[in-house]
Amino acid sequence: MIRLIAGLGNPGPEYEHTRHNAGFWWVDEAARLLKVSLQMERGHQGMVARANLGGQSVWLIEPQTFMNLSGRSVASLARFYKIAPEEVLVVHDELDLPPGEAKLKKGGGHAGHNGLRDIHAQLGSAEYWRLRIGIGHPGNRNEVANWVLKKPSPDDRIAIAQALDRSLKALPNLVAGDMNKATALIHTSKPPRPKPPRPEKKEDPAAQVLVNAGSATGAPPAPEDA
């Protein structure tokens, strides 16, 4: 079962809508669905809420330490309530998935994600669960820092919102520990709807008559009177 869900991001209004805050977006919505309010807990350096789902308690946390020190906050709450790494779910942005996709996994490396890197170090284990929210890749590794700290395009934000909505439907299964069902819900995504074709530009019938007349005589149409 999952007893602690940590959404990763950076505190402050300037980062609120940036790609790196996808984990915050997920936990904000989870708190709304569970009808709880996140409150600052200075002892755990994060915004924290306790909820009940299906008769089980689950803690929500958004570290306020900035991304690179996320592990301090997550590990503090986990140690205080004796929550094992395998009972922790970390929700974070994922460069290697396109917007609109989300994937659930347990364990593995941090793939250069600084938030996960610090959680690895502070928990002393990689055996926690991760919910990876796709934000896409800029295509150039040198642009990654700018990419994650910028707002997604309107189309990408819609796709990310759809992935959040779909993965939040698995919240009861995650808390209950039914990871197979949670995975099936999270990994099932619908392809984006194709954009409608642009309407063909209608030609001026009068202009077409002039073109046809010119073609028939082998000469260009006479100019109109000024």
Residue ranges with strand state E in the chain: 4-7, 39-41, 46-53, 56-63, 88-94, 102-106, 129-134
In contact, 100 and 16? CB cutoff 8 Å: no
Cα 61 off chain centre by = 17
Distance CA 106, CA 126 (A): 8
Catalytic, 120? Answer no
Catalytic residue among 20, 44, 92, 113: 20
CA 139, CA 136: separation in Å to the nearest integer? 9
Among candidates 36, 62, 63, 29, which has minimal Cα distance to 161? 29
Which residues are tagged catalytic?
20
